[in-house]
Amino acid sequence: MYDKILQPCDIFFTHGEKLLSKLIRLGETSQGEEKTIVNHVGIVTGFGPIDFADVVEALTHVVKHTIYSQYHNKKDKVAIYRPINLNSEQKHIITNKANSYVGDTYGFFKIGMHMLDYFTGKHYFFRKLANNDNYPICSWVVAHSYKAAGFDFGCESGMADPDDIWDFVLKNPDKYKCTLELSNI
């Protein structure tokens, strides 16, 4: 299944094979939860073919580029989910918020807070201490962009990790549809 045209607010997920990707997935898995599948998330802010539409994602900085330029011919697998319950105004709010993060420095310290929360059973304690919008991580960009329009992923936006967002879109087919199953592009 593959919709070659991306739309604003589509959410993309990645599954990497490098050690850091594997460690992130390990840290996202709650006790008793099935093995985590994705380790990264980003948001589409433009409209058009996969090699043309802009996306925003937090790498070492929050960047705007295309999924294709970042993930084509790489080992990372990509999946894309489209929200089917947003109106034009909500899409505008979400993409504006995502675009507002472009250029921000990655919040490396937030990864440390996620790790500390992992050892507390994923309780939202340390991440609350690091609740700073100036240094986003990948899930922060997506969750806070959606929060700007009044949406969440079943948890507080500062608590969301890629797996939380993934689990939410999979469990809510009335709100999200898969346009690209997890695969290489």
Structure tokens at 80: 């894309």
d(Cα 146, Cα 156) in Å, to the nearest integer?
A: 11
Mean pLDDT in the chain? 86
pLDDT score, position 165: 97
This prediction has a pTM of: 0.87
Whether residue 51 has pLDDT greater than 60? yes
Closest CA to 28 of 18, 16, 11, 40: 40
DSSP state of 9: T
C-alpha distances in Å from residue 69, one per residue of 2, 79, 170: 18, 15, 26
Closest CA to 139 of 175, 182, 169: 169
Encode pLDDT of 83-136 as tens digits.
Answer: 999 999 999 999 999 999 999 887 665 666 656 666 666 666 666 666 655 668
pLDDT score, position 1: 47
pLDDT, greater one: 2 or 83: 83
The dihedral region occupied by 85, where left means phi > 0, alpha psi between -120 and 50, and beta the remainder, is alpha
pLDDT, greater one: 63 or 33: 63
- Provide the CATH number for the domain around residue 128: 3.90.1720.10
Percent of the chain with pLDDT over 90: 58
pLDDT score, position 34: 81
pLDDT score, position 134: 63
- Residue 10 near residue 95 (C-beta atoms within 8 A): no
Q: Give how many domains the chain has, as a whole number.
A: 1
Enclosing domain of residue 80: 5-183
pLDDT, greater one: 60 or 174: 174
The dihedral region occupied by 56, where left means phi > 0, alpha psi between -120 and 50, and beta the remainder, is beta
Pairing status of strand 48-49 against strand 54-58: unpaired
pLDDT score, position 24: 75
- Mean pLDDT along residues 3-14: 92
Structure tokens at 49: 């073919």
